[in-house]
């Protein structure tokens, strides 16, 4: 049986976890672009960039939620 507390205040969200998630997502995207440009020996094409955006957003959201 789950225990619930009805009169408890909602948990405050820390701004540091939001900033950390955004910084990590930007860093992951930059690293993705650097690796993709090295592997393709030129600028990465659109599907690689879109895939990098998806991966960076997923990692940034994971960091944000894991830090709460």
Instruction: Report the distance separating Cα 16 and Cα 19, nearest Å.
Output: 5
Cβ contact 36:52 at 8 Å: yes
Question: Cα separations (Å) of 27 from 8, 11, 34?
Answer: 37, 28, 11
Token pair belonging to 28 = 């992951």
pTM: 0.75
CA angle 50, 54, 44 (to 5 degrees): 30
pLDDT of residue 61: 93
10-68 pLDDT, tens per residue?
666 678 888 889 999 999 999 999 999 999 999 999 999 999 999 999 999 999 888 76
């Amino acid at each position: 049986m789950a225990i619930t507390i009805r009169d408890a205040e909602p948990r405050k969200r820390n701004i540091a976890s939001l900033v950390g998630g955004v910084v990590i997502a930007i860093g992951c995207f930059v690293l993705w672009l650097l690796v993709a440009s090295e592997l393709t020996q030129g600028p990465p094409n659109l599907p690689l960039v879109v895939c990098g955006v998806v991966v960076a957003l997923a990692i940034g959201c994971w960091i944000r939620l894991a830090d709460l």
